Amino acid sequence: MDAEQKTVVNIFLNKCGVDCDTLNNLDGFKIPREVLLSEEKYNEIVEEIPKLKTIYSSSYMTSLQKNAKKNQQWPLINIVRQVLKSCGYSMKPQRLANGYTKSGKKLYRRFFVISKIEVKQKIEQEEDNTVNVTS
């Protein structure tokens, strides 16, 4: 991914509520789930989808397809998750306790935590060993 493409992705993520300067600063970032469920927020970023289509194929990312809003329950969550995955990050849900209701039911605050996808080094070492054996 070149610098221009990274800029487009960064602007898109900032409009989605992921406030970061560069893609390298995303590890450990928390996004409130309510932000990504917002219909208004999705309507704001719809104009950014054609820019993302210049980088990614809509057959690769289903959230970029024309009928994504109709077919997907949470299209903004899906598009952010797919863009982050293509950049080497994953979004994991997290629930934090937020007290109790008057009737005694437990309340939760829900977040998505962005974490760097770790590449397995064992596989690379095994490939290096097979190259050395065959050489």
Q: pTM for the complete prediction?
A: 0.80
Q: Considering the chain, what is the average pLDDT of its residues?
A: 86
Which residue, among 66, 106, 86, 109, has the nearest Cα to 26 in the 3D structure?
Answer: 86
Give pLDDT < 50 ranges for the chain: none
Tens-place pLDDT, residues 71-86: 989 999 999 999 999 9
Rounded Cα distance between 135 and 31, Å, is 49
Helices (H) and strands (E) in the chain, counts: 7, 3
